[in-house]
Amino acid sequence: MNEDYTYEYLPHRGLTKRTLEFYDIKTKIDKDGRPVADGFVWPDGCTMVRSLASKDMYWRKPEGKADVEAGLFGRDKFNAGGSDSVIITEGAYDAASAFQVLHVPALSVRSSTSAGADCASVRSYLDSHKKIYLGFDADRAGRAARDVVARLFDYNKVYVLDFDLRKDANDYLQHGEADELRNIFANAKKYLPETVVNIDLNSATKILAERASIGVPYPLARLNDMTYGIRKGESVLITAPPGVGKTELMHAIEYQLLQETDSNVGSIFLEEPKADHLRALASTHLQRPAFVPEHGVSDDSVAAAALAACKKDSRLYLYSHFGSSDPDVLLDTIRFLVAVCKTDYVLLDHINLVVSGIRDETDERRALDYICTRLEMMVKELNFGLIFVSHINDMGRTRGSRAMEQLCDVRLELSRDARGGSNIVDITVSKNRPPMGKTGSAGSYIFDNFTRRYLEVANDNQPPDVAADAA
């Protein structure tokens, strides 16, 4: 042993000397008396070393041992079936903390990614207990590990420690909240897959809090009154024949999202070059056209106005080039925008262009059905707002696929008597899934090409107040 260091059972992180001795957790201390690292000995003889300064971890293997085996920290401290219950945690500190507070055998996996293999390697041992409590970290990786481990056993014996205030068991101990940890254990409920929720007051409150009833307001007052705004976790489909003004409405919605929120926005305008998109955004902000030279808006002024519309750098993401008929390219792009670029809202204009390279109508329909189904699933999974455009056929149906109008949460239909020379756009809410939503006319508007604003016009055939479908 290096004489420059000593190894002690040093109480820290809320853990007592007695607990540290039981789990054989030693702290490495340098010659100046400073703690350097903690060592956790696994049943296979390997030691996981955690630096106290950097929090980095590495493994020290006995001489001649090729690799670290799957298994659980603390497994050698408790006999199979020696207790009715066993707790599985994501970290060695957490196992020791749970045992110290709850006096129940507590073990730890090596990491969230290895949790399935670690528990599978000692499945018979774990299954010898009547109750198996899963106490993984309260984050996405922890929830994923919990689901993998739960599948190894009969769900009737699997319980979940719901860490709602702190990340893990040791976090509760360090904050002096041992009583809260005891309450969590005492009130643990049987594991249910995330697709199944057992409703009680706590779960009902969480569900209701997940979805805001009022979203980001539309730039059109009447439309906003009927839909209660644009919400994350919902998809909005805008449909119209070509040339009615769908893209202008999408630009207005994009500008509204940038002005009314601090959220990142992803814009996929497949028929619009990036330079034209920036000019449209700048025009909306300046309330004057930035497209033609006679209005005297230089490229520098366009750039400045576009950035001013965004309010700050790096929150608007443009993707205008597509060049592929593979639906997964679009889906991967949107997933990247949401998961990596952290966009809360994505605008897609228009979805039909994604499959325009597919010649066979049956293949095109299947591709659109696939895209729409996956998009709706992604909207709910990643909790972002999707506003997308589709052309319609002569029957007023979404072109190429019925799936998009069936799966979307809100559908806005735009119409204009272009042949008669009218510049009035009528907007109808034909679908509004939220139960408080309304359907029917959302008003008639003229789009001012100079100010880039929508002006509502009187409609003698429409009463001032649109009644809800069902009160």
Q: What does the pLDDT look like over 207-262, one tens digit per residue?
A: 666 655 788 999 998 898 888 899 999 999 998 888 888 889 999 999 999 999 99
Tell me, yes or no, whether 189 and 298 share the same domain: no
d(CA 428, CA 417): 15
Interior CA angle at 237 toward 233 and 243, to 5°? 150
Tell me, yes or no, whether 172 and 275 share the same domain: no
Tell me, yes or no, whether 133 and 181 share the same domain: yes
**Which strand (E) or helix (H) includes residue 457?**
strand 453-457
Neighbours of 304 (CB within 10 A): 14
Spatial neighbors of 418 by CB under 8 A, at least 6 apart, are 243, 244
Q: What is the DSSP letter of 454?
A: E
Task: Return the CATH number at 178.
Answer: 3.40.1360.10
Tell me, yes or no, whether 127 and 225 share the same domain: no
Which of 145, 160, 195 is the C-terminal boundary of a domain? 195
Instruction: Please write the tens of the pLDDT for every residue from 154-189.
Output: 888 999 999 988 999 999 999 999 999 999 999 999
Report helix, strand or coil for 7.
strand
d(CA 335, CA 375): 9
Spatial neighbors of 340 by CB under 8 A, at least 6 apart, are none
Tell me, yes or no, whether 243 and 98 share the same domain: no
Instruction: Please write the tens of the pLDDT for every residue from 28-84.
Output: 999 999 999 999 999 999 999 999 999 999 999 988 888 888 899 999 999 998 999
Q: Which residues form the domain of 266? A: 221-457
Identify whether the C-beta of residue 63 lies closer than 8 Å to the C-beta of residue 46: no
pLDDT class of 404 with cuts at 50, 70, 90: confident
Q: What is the mean pLDDT of the chain?
A: 86
Tell me, yes or no, whether 150 and 281 share the same domain: no
Instruction: Report pTM.
Output: 0.61
Give the strand pairing for 5-8 and 264-269.
unpaired
Domain assignment present for residue 468? The answer is no
Tell me, yes or no, whether 145 and 25 share the same domain: yes
Tell me, yes or no, whether 357 and 443 share the same domain: yes
Share of the chain above pLDDT 90, in %: 49
Q: Write down the pLDDT at residue 325.
A: 58
Interior CA angle at 97 toward 94 and 100, to 5°? 150
Order of strands, sheet of 47-51, starting from the edge strand that comes earlier in the sequence: 5-8, 25-30, 35-41, 47-51, 57-60
Tell me, yes or no, whether 182 and 244 share the same domain: no
Tell me, yes or no, whether 136 and 233 share the same domain: no
Report helix, strand or coil for 146.
helix
d(CA 53, CA 39): 14
d(CA 51, CA 411): 55
Spatial neighbors of 304 by CB under 8 A, at least 6 apart, are none
Report the 3 state secondary structure along 387-411.
EEEEEECCCCCECCCCHHHHHCCEE
C-alpha 358: how far from chain center? 31
What the block records as the tokens of 84 is: 């009715």
Strands (E), 72-210: 85-89, 106-108, 131-135, 158-160, 189-190
Neighbours of 465 (CB within 10 A): 8
d(CA 443, CA 427): 6
pLDDT class of 15 with cuts at 50, 70, 90: very high
